[in-house]
Structure formats: C-alpha cells, structure tokens
Amino acid sequence: MGDKSAIEWTDATWNPVTGCTKISPGCKHCYAERLAVRLQAMGNPRYRNAFDVTLHPDQIELPPRWRRPRRIFVNSMSDLYHEAVPDEYIQRVFEVMVRAEQHVFQVLTKRSERLPEIAGRLPWPPNVWQGVSVGECRLRDADRRPAQSPRRRALSLRRAAARPRFRTCPARASTG
C-alpha cells in the first residue's frame, strides 16, 4: 500500500481491505495471495491474517493526505465488493473517493454481481473508474445482463480486464 506502484496502469495502491477468496479459474494463480503470504512471513501487521479478508479502517483516510494527483488502484490486495466487506464500509471508502477529487480511483472487481445491489447507495463521481475483471468467456457472457435501473445504467464501466487470459473468447454481439 503506498503512493508509488510498479503496476504500469496506475500510480499508487490503496488497500483499506486485504484478503480474498477464490471465485473463478482466473484466481488460481492470484498474485495478491502469494504476496500476502510473503508479507505475513516478513511480519507485516497488515497481513497478520494472511489472505483472509481483513478490514483496515485506519487506512480509509489515506488518499486525501496525498496532495499530488494520482491514479490509485483501490484494493490491489483484495476485492472491495467481497461478500465479507460490509456495505457501510464500502460506503465509507466511496465517501473518501468523493472527497479526494484530485485523484482517479481505479476499482477492479471479479464480483460484479454485487454492484447492482449496492450501486444505488453509492455516489459515483467521475473520478471513480469501476472495472470488472473476467477470467473466462462464460463468466464474461454471464456478466452482460441488461441494465435494470436508471442508476445501474448511469454506472459506467471504465475498465474491463481479462487476466489471466487462458484463451481467446469468441466475439459476441454488443447489447448496447
């Protein structure tokens, strides 16, 4: 967690949550899980629970302290929409992203099914880029449900990631 990152598409990482559970074949070789085990072995207190989902409320107010604008990868070591993360906690994270308008927040999830459940209760400022990571074609196709509400239609997907890509997915017709 820090104001510098070696990830090519972001400038910094912010982890108000760490840990996760595997939900797709794309999770088989999870870099975050391997890194969490290593960080725990090194005695890093943030990883005292290894890769079990752990909330870090003391980290929520970190981005407003960074004055220089950054692209910030939110939860590079977790999934903000994990079922073990309470809705109220997600709302607190979003409140910080609204206040820290100098930054662009990149939120990437494999748990897009939770988005429609909570999206109407979250602010969606233009500096929050929501993305969905899809590990295999059948999951990608299942994730293309029609918009069910004006709020969901307003939620703009800014990033789609296919990592790791096991094979090329056949093209599909756009649903608009």
92-120 per-position pLDDT tens digit: 999 999 999 999 999 999 888 998 999 99
* Residues with Cβ within 8 Å of residue 124, at least 6 apart in sequence: 130, 154, 155, 156
Provide the pLDDT for residue 43. 82
159-169 per-position pLDDT tens digit: 444 444 444 55
28-64 per-position pLDDT tens digit: 776 667 766 777 678 878 878 887 899 999 999 999 9
The whole-angstrom separation of Cα 103 and Cα 113 is 26
Residue 9 confidence class, pLDDT cut points 50, 70, 90: low
Global pTM reads 0.74
Phi and psi for 41 in degrees, rounded to 5?
-60, -30
